[in-house]
Amino acid sequence: MYVTHLQCPKCEERYESERLMQLCKCGSPLLVHYDLEKIVSGFTKDDLAGRQANLWRYLEFLPVRDPSNIVSFGEGMTPLLRLDNLSPEVSLANLYMKDESILPTGTFKDRGAAVGVTRAKELGVKVLIMPTNGNAGASWASYSAKAGIHAVIVMPEDAPSITRCEVAITGGSLFLVKGTISDAGKIVRRAVEKFGWFDASTLKEPYRIEGKKTIGLEIAEQLGWKPPDVIIYPTGGGVGLIGIHKAMRELRQIGWICGKLPRMVVVQSTGCAPIVRAWEQKKQESTPWENPHTLAYGITVPKALGDFLVLNAVYETAGCAVAVRDEEILVAHRILASREGRFVCPEGAATLAAVLKLAESGWIQPDEKVVLVNTGSGLKYPETVRAEPPTLMPGDDLPG
């Protein structure tokens, strides 16, 4: 393992990586740091050629002490699809979608769970607890079951039914709360104080980011180590965006990529857009969003713990933040399905809704290389689409 230490991005306090850590003493999330020079002294891009096509191909860049501890379902190396049918309609010559829908539980949450649970196992965790809007809980419960760790999951009562079933069938302890993910988080905090369980809430442990980082590593490799101009990401807690940005910075530091980093674009719903509002006001952190509501359930996060890291990535790359209406998400959802045959999650559709706005305004130029991140499968949100085909009797003929 090439990890040197954990470090706070706010106060710069350092911590040992072999201690079971949550937040910095100042309350900030902690980030994993590596001896990057040592990594590349004996490891090159060519060494990746013969490795399995999953996220563990980047083991040198991941915080695993002993590979025998890895908890894996084969996650990673998801396709980077050219949207050739859609590109002419939006006047973009190089439009791609990083499609996370094929991961084991159907969403990008598997990346963070694979690395986070692996590290929890290495550090001796027996019980973990987390609040979730659904998919993260389902994923962490699945990986925890494989690792022999008991998962306690608290989610809003209107979370998607499929994710609730996933937690239940994998043996996790599921609790529903009348309220938002923030309300679930308050219950989790009290349980952590009372029982001493490991808090796996978003960014309250350092290793979920490292799993999500592999999205960025894959994008860079799939594009021949020539990063795109723009990466558009549906943002709730923002871990994936933070991770992708971290990956690009590390790759540039070791010389595997050159030039400007991709401009990072935050996409949120107008029904819950705290980070967009903070960006518009040129602030470093967001304020809690009152009465959040959107059909893009996974990005319904009133206040993200790592919002300052998300905003820093946007500012550092000259990116932007965009809010889209639910109606625009539904239109984009149908466009992706009817033009490209991809049944994506509402959060993934939100990225196309943002592209339509940014291309029309000229913020994205026609020849720029743009990657949308679809964070999950539309199959996990069956209530988003209503199919009402005509019913035929056995003797009826089809209309012409």
Task: Convert the pLDDT of each residue in 136-164 to its tens digit.
Answer: 999 999 999 999 999 999 999 988 899 99
**Which of 24, 5, 33, 9 lies closest to 308 in space, CA to CA?**
9
Q: Is residue 223 part of a domain?
A: yes
Whether 70 is covered by a domain: the verdict is no
Residue 400 has pLDDT above 80, yes or no: no
Tell me if 157 is assigned to some domain. no
Per-residue pLDDT of 289-334, as tens digits, reads: 999 999 998 999 999 999 999 999 999 999 999 999 999 999 999 9
% of the chain beyond a pLDDT of 90: 94
How high is the pLDDT of residue 382? 85
The amino acid occupying position 89 is E
Residue 236 in contact with residue 304, Cβ under 8 Å? yes
Tell me if 221 is assigned to some domain: yes
List 236's β-bridge partners, or say none. none
In the predicted structure, residue 374 carries a pLDDT above the cut 80: yes
305 within a domain of the structure (yes/no): yes
With respect to residue 172, please indicate whether it lies within any of the assigned structural domains: no
- Decide if 172 contacts 141 (C-beta within 8 A): yes
Residue 237 sits in a domain whose CATH number is 3.40.50.1100
Question: Strand, helix or coil at 129?
Answer: strand
Q: Are 302 and 274 in contact (CB under 8 A)?
A: yes
- Domain of 306, in residue numbers: 80-106+208-384
Parallel, antiparallel, or unpaired for β 14-15 and 3-7?
A: antiparallel
pTM of the model: 0.95
Sign for the CA dihedral angle at 234, 17, 43, 37 comes to: positive
Residue 104 — very low, low, confident or very high, per pLDDT cuts 50/70/90?
A: very high
Say if residue 347's pLDDT is above 90: yes
Per-residue pLDDT at 348 exceeds 80: yes
Half-sphere exposure of 76 (CA within 13 A, CB side): 29
Looking at this protein, which amino acid is placed at residue 107? T
* List of E strands, 230-276: 230-234, 263-269
Work out the burial of residue 134: count CB atoms within 10 Å of its CB; fewer than 13 is exposed, 13-18 middle, 19 or more buried.
buried
Confidence of residue 355 (pLDDT cuts 50, 70, 90): very high
Q: CB within 8 A of 238, min separation 6: which ones?
A: 266, 275, 304, 306, 307, 309, 310
Mean pLDDT of the chain: 96
User: Domain for residue 392, yes or no?
Assistant: no
Residue 18 is assigned to a structural domain of this protein: no
Whole-number pLDDT of residue 250 = 98
What are the pLDDT digits (tens) for 205-261?
999 999 999 999 999 999 999 999 999 999 999 999 999 999 999 999 999 999 999
The total of structural domains in the chain comes to 1
pLDDT at 62 over 80: yes
Confidence check: pLDDT of 103 > 80: yes
